[in-house]
């Protein structure tokens, strides 16, 4: 413990299990200090949602726009939860791309590895949320991110990261993007950089080649964070405990099978799978909750926490995400908000 001299002493408690990643608590609030950033790789999107919550796409006459995409939400969540994060992707020079980058810049996400292509645009996702159920329509063909390729993956950038996160959706947008994701995962694995992989295979778009890429990623990842539906598709197990065990046999250090409002089943290096209960909240829009949950899971993993502590922390973060529209801004939880929810419901 250290304090500063003078009025209003500031007490710093430094938690540093992983030398690449540490958290500092200042005056009861955690502030992130990572020696190296978490690198989130893949497709970012601008999302359009009916301005009136609960309206369908067909009914809506006005839409609000939000910055989104799995790696964008994940990276921003890492920053909100006390870490540093950078994004590796491609966008266009169009107005929607500028909007996305402005939103990420405001969240403190590093954009030094983002390429802007004048001949391409960022992808768009239009969706509705009715009674807590989301339907999505994508406009992403020939998007800037679909041109991601192995040559875009810089060895030094990947191997100097605190961790690498890849979402399965980015492996589905094009064969070259799938190859880029695999190259990054292989490089990280070879260098001992933690690999976080969210399969996100509810709608496999790339056929057999994509399935093979996802399968290889599952075998190299340190963290795997599927929904129960995804875990069942991979393992054939509809029971979350059995699915967690089957995924753990592939070699990851931690598996987190998410169960929406019921919480998540986690299985780490010691003991069997454990059920980490969820939190009851008013669901406004659930898209992005899985990305926030995965980011919080990585934060806990890098701190060396046990499975139950990681699960409760991640569940609290994901619960906050569903209480507002969009992915960034008000929807993203801060570390203070997560800790407050855990304190209230401990």
Catalytic site positions = 291
Spatial distance between the Cα atoms of 148 and 150, rounded to a whole number of angstroms: 7
Residue with tokens 């791309």: 97
3-class secondary structure, 156: helix
What region, left, alpha or beta, does residue 81 occupy, with left being phi > 0 and alpha being psi -120 to 50 degrees?
alpha
Going edge to edge, which strands form the sheet with 2-3?
2-3, 11-18, 21-26, 29-34
Q: Which residues on neighbouring strands pair with residue 163, listed in sequence order?
A: 38, 194
Spatial distance between the Cα atoms of 97 and 99, rounded to a whole number of angstroms: 5
Residues constituting the chain: 346
First to last CA, the chain: 26
Spatial distance between the Cα atoms of 29 and 31, rounded to a whole number of angstroms: 6
Q: Kindly state the DSSP code that residue 170 receives in the 8-state scheme.
A: G
Cβ neighbours of residue 160 under 8 Å, at least 6 residues apart? 36
């Amino acid at each position: 413990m250290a304090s500063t001299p003078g009025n209003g002493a500031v007490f710093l408690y430094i938690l540093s299990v992983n030398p690449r990643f540490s958290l500092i608590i200042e005056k009861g609030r955690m502030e992130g200090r990572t020696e190296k950033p978490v690198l989130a790789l893949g497709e970012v999107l601008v999302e359009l949602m009916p301005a009136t919550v609960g309206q369908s796409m067909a009914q809506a006459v006005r839409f609000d726009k939000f910055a989104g995409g799995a790696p964008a939400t994940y990276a921003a969540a890492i920053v909100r939860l006390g870490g540093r994060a950078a994004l590796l992707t491609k966008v266009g020079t169009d107005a929607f791309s500028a909007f996305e980058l402005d939103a990420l810049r405001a969240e403190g996400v590093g954009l030094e590895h983002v390429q802007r292509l004048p001949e391409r645009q960022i992808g768009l996702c239009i969706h509705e949320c009715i009674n807590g159920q989301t339907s999505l329509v994508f406009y992403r063909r020939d998007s800037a991110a679909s041109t991601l390729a192995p040559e875009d993956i810089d060895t030094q950038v990947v191997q100097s990261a605190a961790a690498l996160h890849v979402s399965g959706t980015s492996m589905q947008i094009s064969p070259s993007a799938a190859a880029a994701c695999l190259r990054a995962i292989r490089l990280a694995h070879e260098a001992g950089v933690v690999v976080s992989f969210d399969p996100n295979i509810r709608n496999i778009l790339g056929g057999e080649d994509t399935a093979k890429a996802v399968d290889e990623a599952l075998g190299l990842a340190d963290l795997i964070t599927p929904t129960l539906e995804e875990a069942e598709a991979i393992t054939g197990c509809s029971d979350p405990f059995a699915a967690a065990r089957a995924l753990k046999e592939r070699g990851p250090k931690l598996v987190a099978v998410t169960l929406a409002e019921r919480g998540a089943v986690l299985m780490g290096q010691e003991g069997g799978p454990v059920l980490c209960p969820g939190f009851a909240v008013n669901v406004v829009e659930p898209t992005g909750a899985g990305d926030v949950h995965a980011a919080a899971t990585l934060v806990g993993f890098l701190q060396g926490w046990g499975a139950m502590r990681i699960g409760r922390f991640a569940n609290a973060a994901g619960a906050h995400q569903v209480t507002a529209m969009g992915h960034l801004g008000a929807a993203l939880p801060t570390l203070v908000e997560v800790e407050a929810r855990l304190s209230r419901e401990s």
